[in-house]
Amino acid sequence: MSPTAPRSIARTTARSTPAAALALGGALLALVAAPVLQHRRAQPVDGFPLSHYPMFSARRGRTGRVVHVVVDDADGTHPVHYRRLGTGGFNQVRRQLTRRARTPEGAAALAQEALERLGAERVRVVRSTFEYERFFAGDRSPERVQTLGLAERSGEPAMPRTDALPAQRDVLAVA
């Protein structure tokens, strides 16, 4: 307060400061706690910081399945990077692979197309099951692998079968 200000203003400001701080603190506390009240509503409203959107709030199983293409060669089995299989982003290519591999004929045709595109000797379309806890702890090996489609340079597309995945090398693309 400046020395030239009237005393009545100085006295009023000094007295109202604790009350104003208390009111502002209470309002801030209520604002921060308000999203918790969404849990009591029949239809919660989605919003930050608490989200009820299924991507964030849905229960997840302990495993996840992924359809992908692998190349088998003398060095082992190598997953093929999604950019080598289609145009678009990761999720778009992943959905296309999953959709095409739904039938044995579609998976065999996909394997044959990948074989021609990659110039490999043997290509498989597989559905791998991964355990989330192990995967994110660093163990990238699948729990189970099912071959959906197979194509080999020496012959026609083979029909699907279930087998174990040979030793994997952690690479993103096949050269």
pLDDT in tens, 85-143: 988 899 999 999 999 999 999 999 999 999 999 888 999 999 999 999 999 999 999 99
CA angle, residues 80, 82, 85, in degrees to nearest 5: 85
- 173 band by pLDDT with thresholds 50, 70 and 90: very low
Assess whether 79 and 124 both reside in one domain. yes
- Answer whether 107's CB lies under 8 Å from 113's CB: no
Residue 168 belongs to a domain:
no
Domain that holds residue 18: 7-55
Nearest-CA neighbor of 148 among 116, 111, 95? 111
- Answer whether 173's CB lies under 8 Å from 80's CB: yes
Burial bucket for residue 96 (CB in 10 Å: 0-12, 13-18, 19+): middle
Assess whether 46 and 77 both reside in one domain. no
Q: Which helix (H) or strand (E) holds 127?
A: strand 122-131
- End-of-domain residue from the set 55, 73, 94: 55
Assess whether 93 and 36 both reside in one domain. no
Asked if pLDDT for residue 8 goes beyond 70, the answer is no
| Separation of CA 27 from chain center | 38
Assess whether 102 and 155 both reside in one domain. yes
Q: Which residues contact 115 (CB under 8 A, 6 or more apart)?
A: 122, 123, 151, 152, 153
